[in-house]
Structure 1
Amino acid sequence: MTASKEEVLDRQVDGRPAPLLEARHLTRVFGHGKTAVRAVDDVSFTLGRQEVVTIVGESGSGKSTLARMVLRLLDPTSGTIHLDGRDVTRLRGKALRTYWQEVQAVFQDPFSSFNQFFTVRRLLRRSLRLTGATTDEAGEALIAQALEHVGLTPAEVLDKWPHQLSGGQRQRVMIARALMLRPRLLVADEATSMLDASLRANILNVLTDARQAYDMTILFITHDIGQACYVSDRVLVMCQGKLVEQGPVDEVIFSPRHDYTRRLLADVPRLHAVS
């Protein structure tokens, strides 16, 4: 059973509200014996209500594997995941489908996430079954509200096929589909990496605005520490499956403690004044 917002806020840990999500000692091993690879190695972290937390690291650091475990698309080899204090690590069946309503995702490639034989209208209407909308009018209102939030109009996209949309429009539709379910946690896994630079900041603004509008926590996954600086309250830095540094964004960016974090920051482009 999902706890009410009042029950969640009443829970205290060391005098503070309990986290929305807590990952404890998550480990994921692929393969066996000498060929085994520890993609995620004993990682623990929390996500607070309405926080934007970014996991940053290079390709192969384990960040996407960690995101898939949080989404319950991949079982951890060991460790646990707790949502509002409930252990959700081994959910199956109806309980897992309920979890997927509370925890939604926006992936790197929206094109592969859509059924190419469905119009946008049909794609979004199929998601309405999880929203509890009882009438067509209520469902259409949810669709229009979500599209408006991401900067699209129903007339602009609903009767189009996915291939007729631009990359930015497809990503916005993907975000709208997630927002319709009013999730408590949105996991955005490299959600801007396939977009032109001119579109990235716009999509990042859409996501961060949704935090307030939908009372939502965001877990943002990226290889770009510059984007982490732009959107985050806190940053978690992963390297070779391990969490090597974490803290408030200003602390991590301006006073990094780990050499790997310093290397990531050194790769961020800087603008220099021209004399």
Structure 2
Amino acid sequence: MLTLDRVTKTFRAGAFGGGSVTAVDRVSFSAAPGELVSLIGESGSGKSTIGRMVLGLTEVTSGSLTLDGEQVRPGKDFYRRVQGVFQDPFSCYNPVFKADRVFALVRRAYHPGVGDKEWADRVEKAVRDVRLDPGQVLGRYPHQLSGGQLQRLLIARALLLDLRFLVADEITSMLDASTRIDVLNLLAGLKERGLGVLYITHDLSLGTYLAEKTVVLRNGRVVEHGDTTKLFANPAHPYTRTLLAAVPRLNQPWTPAEPVESCAYHDAGRAASGGGLHETEPGHFVACAQLPACGRNLA
């Protein structure tokens, strides 16, 4: 179980680092084994910063981030269980080496005692598990493979470890429509095998494809989260409704969401049951729509 409890990340800003910017503000949610959690928000909302904190690439300023009850601490044992796949697959490969060098690096770091024949069999199985033909992808250079093939090779690399949790940060944004579905179906297969997935995206339609739970992020704060079906069937926060209204629909004019003048959750939004959010229905939480301008914020 991956658990974020009031996780905050503040960066230094301004001349000589005298100021500060809060990129992630008291974010709380969890992801269980075999569960895909979709983290949705516009650019600059803090999605990737959360992903980097989960991966131990960015230090948490305050709050608690745990995996199976243990504080996240980057290291070899941690990266056996948690891996990330990022938006631009080409940036993860050295163009002067063949693409399957990523498997050799895993072997050197985590499986130095495995024999050549056994390792070759493991690599072939992992490649087939991500729906690639080893004969067509192994031994090729990155420029000879498509973005979708490179993404799936990165997932295959992760499968060679004792993987428990995968952070997928905008992994379909650079792929064409048909390849996106292939990668999403691959994530569905991994989920069925008991792998927990944090799927970071700005695309609502893809975010709802597989996720049991959805977390909507705005300006570093969670404004709504809960069961995906409930959240999208009955969006309670104006920002969530604005995101849904922005999804293109054929033969339907765009209509903006209504402006926020008052909020039914202004007082109830401080309830402890949802980590500072109000529970509108079982498994569905929403923040006060007047935050962060609200003087009575989530203290």
Report whether the alignment pairs 1:49 with 2:30.
Answer: no
Higher Cα Rg, which structure: 2
Partner residue in 1 for 2:53:
69
Counterpart code for 1:243: V
Partner residue in 1 for 2:3:
22
TM-score (norm 1): 0.86
Q: CA offset at residue 269 of structure 1?
A: 2.7
Q: Write 1 or 2 for the structure with the bigger share of helix.
A: 1
Partner residue in 2 for 1:6:
none
Report whether the alignment pairs 1:118 with 2:97.
Answer: yes
Partner residue in 1 for 2:122:
142
Partner residue in 2 for 1:9:
none
| Structure-1 separation of matches of 2:216 and 2:42 | 10
SS at match of 1:195: coil
Q: CA offset at residue 272 of structure 1?
A: 5.5
Counterpart code for 2:83: Q
Structure 2 unaligned segments of length 5 or more: list them: 253-299
Q: CA offset at residue 23 of structure 1?
A: 0.9
What are the within-5 Å matches in structure 2 for residues 98-117 of structure 1?
98-117=77-96
Q: CA offset at residue 270 of structure 1?
A: 2.8
Deviations 1:107-147 (A, max 9, x none): 00110011222212322122123453621122112211111
Q: CA offset at residue 198 of structure 1?
A: 2.2
Partner residue in 2 for 1:239:
218
Structure 1 unaligned segments of length 5 or more: list them: 1-19
Q: CA offset at residue 35 of structure 1?
A: 3.7
SS at match of 2:102: helix
Deviations 1:56-79 (A, max 9, x none): 000000010011000000001111
- Residue 87 of structure 1: which of 67, 71, 93 is its match? 71
Higher relative contact order (CA 8 A, sep 6+): 1
Task: State the identity %.
Answer: 44
Tell me if the contact between 1:101 and 1:130 (Cα under 8 Å) persists in the aligned partners: no
TM-score (norm 2): 0.79
| Structure-2 separation of matches of 1:232 and 1:270 | 22
SS at match of 2:100: helix
| Structure-2 separation of matches of 1:267 and 1:221 | 18
Task: Using the TM superposition, name which of 262-271 and 108-117 deviates more.
Answer: 262-271
